[in-house]
Structure 1
Amino acid sequence: MDSGLPSYSTVIHRGKTLLLEARLLGGAPWGFQLKGGLEHGEELIISKVEGGGKADLLEHPLLPGDQVVVINDVELSGFRQEAVSLVKGSYKTLRLTVRR
């Protein structure tokens, strides 16, 4: 059930690391694509953000190159398939934390 709160994003500074927490509402499409992952020997990153999509319309939009570290409160192991399963399992709300 939707809590009635709007989509939002928050920037958190941890030393030299910048984390962006984003909450997207309304269901797929979320407006971004993933690539890489440990199965490819690469970091799991956002490869594309669709202009005008939910990920682009946040106060602090997601950006290509952002490393995805948490989806729906699950700290990722780094495998793309794990991330895709969590995103596809998000019906009305998707919560992401990315490292910039």
Structure 2
Amino acid sequence: MATVQIQKSGGQPWGFRLAGGRDFNVPLQVKKVESGSPAAGVLAPGDSIIGIGNSDARGMTHMQAHQTIRGSGNYLQLTVVKGHGGMDRLSSIKPKGPVKFSPWKAQSAQ
């Protein structure tokens, strides 16, 4: 477990994509980090986020975590568990098998 700080300026994005949350039954994790962003070199895909600022993030929904991060201003403190463990579980929230509906098929049928 580590506490990391990320700082940004103005309207610059943090540069990482969040996945999971209580509503997905998957722990909050970093899914992607943009190179050259404030999060680059601090976070890595697969890091589990267990705290945002002074809040315990383990029971947060995805949207609660997202809003807490957005509301942090230009300084973000995260408590993370480093590592790639659990990223396989994120695939469970993606559809498996053939897509049963495609807007392109629906348009061509008209």
Same fold? TM cut 0.5:
yes
> Unpaired segments of 5 or more residues in structure 1?
1-18
Query: What is the 5 A alignment of 1:6-85?
Result: 19-27=1-9, 28-57=12-41, 61-76=42-57, 77-85=59-67
Separation in 1 of the partners of 2:5 and 2:73? 13
> Unpaired segments of 5 or more residues in structure 2?
83-110
Identity of aligned residues (%): 32
What is the identity, as a one-letter code, of the residue corresponding to 2:38? Answer: K
What is the identity, as a one-letter code, of the residue corresponding to 1:98? Answer: V
Separation in 1 of the partners of 2:8 and 2:21? 26
Q: Does the aligned pair in 2 maintain the 1:69–1:78 contact within 8 Å?
A: no
TM-score, normalised by the number of residues in structure 1: 0.71
Separation in 1 of the partners of 2:22 and 2:73? 26
Aligned alpha-carbon RMSD (Å)? 1.3
Separation in 1 of the partners of 2:8 and 2:46? 24
Q: Does the aligned pair in 2 maintain the 1:43–1:78 contact within 8 Å?
A: no
What is the identity, as a one-letter code, of the residue corresponding to 1:31? Answer: G
Which structure has more helix as a fraction of its residues? 2
Separation in 2 of the partners of 1:26 and 1:79? 24
Which structure has more strand as a fraction of its residues? 1
Report deviation, 1:87: 0.6
Report deviation, 1:26: 2.5
TM-score, normalised by the number of residues in structure 2: 0.66
Report deviation, 1:39: 0.7
Task: Give the count of matched residue pairs.
Answer: 79
Please say which structure displays the higher CA radius of gyration.
2
